[in-house]
Amino acid sequence: MDIIVCLKQVVDPELPQTEFAIEPATGRQVREGRPLVISTYDENALEVALQLKDRGGGKVTVLTLGPQAVISDAFRLALAMGADEMVVVDDPRGPDRLGGEKAAILAAAIRRIGRFDLVLTGCESADWTERVVAPVLAEALSAACVTFVSRVEAADGTLMVRRMADEGFHRVEVRLPAVLSVASDESNRPRLPKLKDILAAKRKPVHVWPVADMPAAPGDLAAGVEVREVVIPQRTTRCEFLEGESAEQAAALAQRLRDLKLL
Amino acid sequence: MAPTREVFWNIPRLGVVIMYLLAFAAVAVCGYGVYQHYRTWRRGKPASRLTPVGPRLRAVVVHVLAHGRLLADRVAGIYHAALFWGFVFLFAGTLVVFVHQDLGLRIMQGPFYLYFQSAALDLMGLAAAVGVAAALVVRYGLGSPRLRRGILSDALVLWLFEGILVTGFLVEGLRIAGTRDPWGPWSPVGYGISGLIDAAAISEATIRLGHAGLWWLHFLLAMVFIAYIPFSKLFHLVLAPANVYLQPLVNPAAPGRIDFDKAERFGAAALGDLTWKDLFDLDVCTECGRCTAVCPATATGKPLSPMHVILDLREEMKRTGTGAAPGRVLAGDVIAPEALWACTTCMACMEACPVFIEHVPKIVEMRRHLVMEVAQMPDTMEDALRSLEARTHPFRGAGISRAAWAEGLAVKKLPRGDRAEWLLWVGCAAALHERNHATLRALVRVLDAAGMDVAILGDEETCTGDPARQMGNEYLFQTFARQNIETLDRYGVRKIVTLCPHCYNTFRHAYPELGGHYEVWHHTQVLARLVDEGRLALTGSAAATITFHDPCYLGRHNGEYDAPRHILQALPGARTREMAQSRQKSFCCGAGGGLYWMEDRTGQRINHVRTDHAVATGAEIVATACPFCTLMLEDGVKARGTSIRPMDVAELLERSLRGEHH
Ligand code: SF4
Ligand code: SF4
């Protein structure tokens, strides 16, 4: 099975809130001086792809979109984990594009890669959490789509997947080609690469394609969405003292909680 | 007639011939056994341990002849010394007989015969007999927690000793009685026995018969002893002094170097991946249990016992011999990975081992195999390594600034173009943990008050790579080291003062191998010097009772026990108290060896136990000199709900500088 895994580079989501900043003029997130990592669930997607390859063979290509200068080094990790090659769509504006727009570019890149049976993405990015890349990609590639997949098993020609649901999970059979968005699961904790794979990853092919070379997708899937403002929510706490004797306080408390619909 | 005695009294010529044949056979068996061991040691990789001769011989004098480390356990040390010196004298006596009889150099006569060969030997033999008896009583009578009973060869060896000594005295007594030896009183024990024989009015024929029988028994036991040496614990008679000589003179905990351009295997998968010295170590172990008795992992119920690491490896070495039998994977089949991951690399075991066995490098070599070859390690440690790669520090969730602590202080920063005589290497555990910001600020104020010219690297500092190294990822360590060396060289850094003993150890011992040569000081060493030179006006009262927790990487790893104590003693009004386990015997805080990042779920937490030790002194403050120790003790204090306060010595010093009262 030939699998393409889309990886997004994000500002370290583990940074404390205080390190999160937005440029007021442009509304873009400040990335400078902050560690850049592979978005959390994308690593789970990569692990799922590698496990499918371990079991059934095939090829795993990782695909990413962003400024090539900052990407390629950090993403060697994906090659060290076991991906066969990497395609970087060099796009200085990459980090600031919305999901739909990105999906359109990724779809063009995937068409250029050519052969694929399966495309995996993380179920949501650690920064924007739009959750649109997988469905839009599937639409653009005319492939089946399942989101929030926790486990995947190949069953000749099709896939049996487990989709997370509010309570429990769905078991879904999917035909190929398909686009799946992957959620984390104990079965897909990203593997630690062995040193020999880290060393070998230095010799694996990395293709850099300028974003300008990506033919625009037929029909603009991203149209109609525009970011108008980005703000950091201000969290405030308020403290209220209830007056009176204990019994009165208790009654007042019950009333307040009922008003707040907490009781 | 000059005082002497007939060597083979009562032994016929034929007997003497048989004796020589048997002696030859015993020596041959012994030689064969040694050769077999030698072949297994040769499976190991090279290591150079023969030079420099001077300090190595000095170590032999201190730890073999003077029993330095053995005496750390008073009782065991004393009885061991008695039997050791007893046997040394008796062996020398045997050599005298050999020279006198077989080489024909008549030395065994005159005053030398009386003072040495008779009196001294007799008394030393008695000391040995008492020593052996004490060893038997401690082991089988009283029972010692660290010694295992039921080791057949231990019992055999001790009874063999006792048998040789007792038969020797009896033979001597019978000879004195049988020959009416005029010099008999010079051998008090034998003379005493001969007196009993006289009193019992035993016939001369019986004396001769008894003497012959016991003489042969004594001789045969001695030959069994010689032949048995390489096959039993007796081997340590030869190997232990050798191992003292071969000990690592500097940086004893360091695992071997790896040249990643050449290496094909990383870490120790099999015995052959260890050095010959590592394999030699395995045969030296006497199973005395001192290492396990002091191991903080063992003490808190973790699945690690350093002695068993050695013994299990030895078992594997015995099983595979010279390598004909297929070897098993060390980390996994021979030693449980959980044991390897429980080690804090605190060096307590190595410091306690009387025969200088090196546990820690072996453990790290096996970890290297797990991490770099198999890619398996505890999840939380793995997260720390991933963080190191992604964020240049192992603390997930920490902020991005490494100089936040310095806000409002006029600290020079090299990247800004400032220049200074000293670089203060802050270290991740201090830069990225708010608790240690106070320590850093205090340190900088003290250095400033003493007029020291210090700068920091600010955000250009990264981890030294030490956590990766201790966890077994030498590759990642070297990546960091090379990058840091490049940064330091770019700014022309020559003198470094570190807050963290782990950084200190790494700069001091690991960076030079990779081309980074600096003058490295730990902050307590610099502060002690400033105190000594009177460059600090310690005016404020620091009245408090303080106990000091020795960080492993400052104390046992680098031999610095005095500098921090020196500072504490200089604090006006401070009273210091030692914990029961301090200095060389200090008990780890639990953070070393990358275990800061390990979820310590089995048994008790090491830092909680160490906190109890500090509380037991009744001190109000537990002083530390390591940002990791501070964090671990803060956590221990919280968990135990006690009021003792962990503080770095720099903080204490600064308070008395400012004249603040506690
Ligand atoms: S270094 Fe410390 S933790 Fe490790 S085995 Fe030795 S005593 Fe135990
Ligand atoms: S390793 Fe050393 S301390 Fe431990 S049991 Fe063996 S001889 Fe004793």
Please state the three-class secondary structure of B36-92 as a single string. HHHHHHCCCECCCCCCCHHHHHHHHHHHHHCCCCHHHCHHHHHHHHHHHHHHHHHHH
Find the mean pLDDT for residues B286-293.
Answer: 94
The pLDDT score that the predictor gives to residue A216 is 66
pLDDT digits (tens, 9 = 90+) for B532-581: 999 998 888 778 999 999 999 999 999 999 999 999 999 999 999 999 99
Partner A contacted by B452 (CB < 8 A)? no
Domain that holds residue B326: 261-373
How many whole angstroms from B299 Cα to the centroid of ligand 1? 10
Q: Which of B373, B400, B431 is at the close of a domain?
A: B373
Cβ distance A192 to B391 less than 8 Å, yes or no, reads no
Residue nearest ligand 2's atom 2 by CA? B353
Q: pTM to 2 decimals?
A: 0.91
Question: Cα distance from A36 to chain B (closest Cα, Å)?
Answer: 7
Looking at the fold, whether B610 and B507 belong to one and the same domain comes out as: yes
Buried b (16+ CB within 10 A) or exposed e, B126-149: bbbbebbbbbbeebeeeebebbee
Place of tokens 């009922």: A258
> In 10 A of CB B649, how many CB atoms?
27
Q: What is the CA radius of gyration of chain A?
A: 22
Partner A contacted by B383 (CB < 8 A)? no
Looking at the fold, whether B515 and B553 belong to one and the same domain comes out as: yes
Cβ distance A37 to B376 less than 8 Å, yes or no, reads no
Residue A219 has pLDDT above 90, yes or no: no
Q: Check which CATH number belongs to the domain holding B132 and give it.
A: 1.20.950
pLDDT digits (tens, 9 = 90+) for A90-117: 998 888 888 888 999 999 999 999 989 9
d(CA B605, CA A125): 37
- The ipTM assigned to this model is 0.84
What values do phi and psi take at A185, rounded to 5? -160, 155
pLDDT range class, residue B353, cuts 50, 70, 90: very high
**Which chain A residue is nearest to residue B378, measuring alpha carbons?**
A192
The pLDDT score that the predictor gives to residue B208 is 93
Higher pLDDT, A228 or B259: B259
Specify the amino acid at residue B611: T
The pLDDT score that the predictor gives to residue B49 is 93
Looking at the fold, whether B440 and B528 belong to one and the same domain comes out as: yes
Comparing C-alpha atoms, which of B445, B461, B451, B456 is closest to residue B416?
Answer: B456
Residue nearest ligand 1's atom 3 by CA? B343
Number of domains chain B is built from: 3
Cβ distance B399 to A196 less than 8 Å, yes or no, reads no
Per CB-CB distance under 8 Å, the chain B contacts of A74 are 390
Looking at the fold, whether B66 and B164 belong to one and the same domain comes out as: yes
Cβ distance B390 to A18 less than 8 Å, yes or no, reads no
Considering only CB atoms, A195 lies closest to which of B373, B397, B398, namely B373
Residue B128 lies in a domain: yes
Residue B384 lies in a domain: no
Cβ distance B373 to A37 less than 8 Å, yes or no, reads no
Cβ distance B400 to A33 less than 8 Å, yes or no, reads yes
Place of tokens 């297994």: B40
Phi-psi region of B593 (alpha: psi -120 to 50; beta: other; left: phi over 0): left
Using a 6 Å cutoff on CB, does residue B360 contact ligand 2?
Answer: no
d(CA B425, CA B526): 13
Looking at the fold, whether B269 and B394 belong to one and the same domain comes out as: no
Residue nearest ligand 1's atom 7 by CA? B295
Q: Check which CATH number belongs to the domain holding B300 and give it.
A: 1.10.1060
The pLDDT score that the predictor gives to residue A3 is 97
The pLDDT score that the predictor gives to residue A156 is 82
Residue B2 lies in a domain: no
d(CA B113, CA A110): 98
Looking at the fold, whether B208 and B265 belong to one and the same domain comes out as: no
d(CA A196, CA A73): 17
d(CA A149, CA A130): 16
pLDDT digits (tens, 9 = 90+) for B213-257: 999 999 999 999 999 999 988 999 999 999 999 999 988 898 888
Looking at the fold, whether B543 and B601 belong to one and the same domain comes out as: yes
Ligand nearest to the CA of B310: 2
Edge-to-edge, what's the strand order for the sheet holding B495-498?
B412-413, B454-456, B422-425, B495-498, B519-522
pLDDT range class, residue A222, cuts 50, 70, 90: low
d(CA B191, CA B173): 6
Looking at the fold, whether B239 and B305 belong to one and the same domain comes out as: no
Looking at the fold, whether B417 and B547 belong to one and the same domain comes out as: yes
Window 51-90 of A, Cβ < 8 Å to B:
74, 77
d(CA A197, CA A83): 10
How many whole angstroms from B311 Cα to the centroid of ligand 2? 9
Using a 6 Å cutoff on CB, does residue B288 contact ligand 2?
Answer: yes
pLDDT digits (tens, 9 = 90+) for B419-476: 999 999 999 999 999 999 999 999 999 999 999 999 999 999 999 999 999 999 999 9
d(CA B457, CA B483): 13
Residue A263 has pLDDT above 80, yes or no: no
Partner A contacted by B459 (CB < 8 A)? yes
pLDDT digits (tens, 9 = 90+) for B375-403: 999 999 999 999 998 888 999 888 888 99
pLDDT digits (tens, 9 = 90+) for B32-52: 999 999 999 999 999 999 989
Residue A167 has pLDDT above 90, yes or no: no
Is CATH 3.40.50.620 the classification given to domain A2-221? yes
Partner B contacted by A33 (CB < 8 A)? yes
Residue B122 tokens read as 């007799």
**Which chain A residue is nearest to residue B474, measuring alpha carbons?**
A195
Cβ distance A15 to B399 less than 8 Å, yes or no, reads yes
Secondary structure element (H or E) that encloses residue A87, with its range: strand A85-90
Looking at the fold, whether B137 and B55 belong to one and the same domain comes out as: yes
Strands A158-164 and A169-175, by their bridges, are: antiparallel
Residue B255 lies in a domain: no
The pLDDT score that the predictor gives to residue B662 is 44
pLDDT digits (tens, 9 = 90+) for B495-536: 999 999 999 999 999 999 999 999 999 999 999 999 999 999
d(CA B61, CA A153): 68
Residue B84 has pLDDT above 70, yes or no: yes
The pLDDT score that the predictor gives to residue B141 is 83
Partner A contacted by B265 (CB < 8 A)? no
Residue A206 has pLDDT above 50, yes or no: yes
Question: Cα distance from A158 to chain B (closest Cα, Å)?
Answer: 32
DSSP A22: B
Q: With the CA atoms of B611, B614, B615 and B620 taken in that order, what torsion angle do they form, in degrees rounded to the nearest 10?
A: -120
Ligand 1 atom having least distance to the Cα of B295 = 7
The pLDDT score that the predictor gives to residue B661 is 45
Residue A220 has pLDDT above 70, yes or no: no
Residue B8 lies in a domain: no
The pLDDT score that the predictor gives to residue B149 is 63
Partner A contacted by B385 (CB < 8 A)? yes
How many whole angstroms from B243 Cα to the centroid of ligand 2? 12
How many whole angstroms from B306 Cα to the centroid of ligand 2? 8
> Could you write out the DSSP letters of every residue in B422-491?
EEEE--HHHHT-HHHHHHHHHHHHHHHHTT--EEE-GGG----SHHHHHHT-HHHHHHHHHHHHHHHHHT
Looking at the fold, whether B223 and B320 belong to one and the same domain comes out as: no
Cβ distance B399 to A77 less than 8 Å, yes or no, reads no
Q: Which of B346, B373, B400 is at the close of a domain?
A: B373
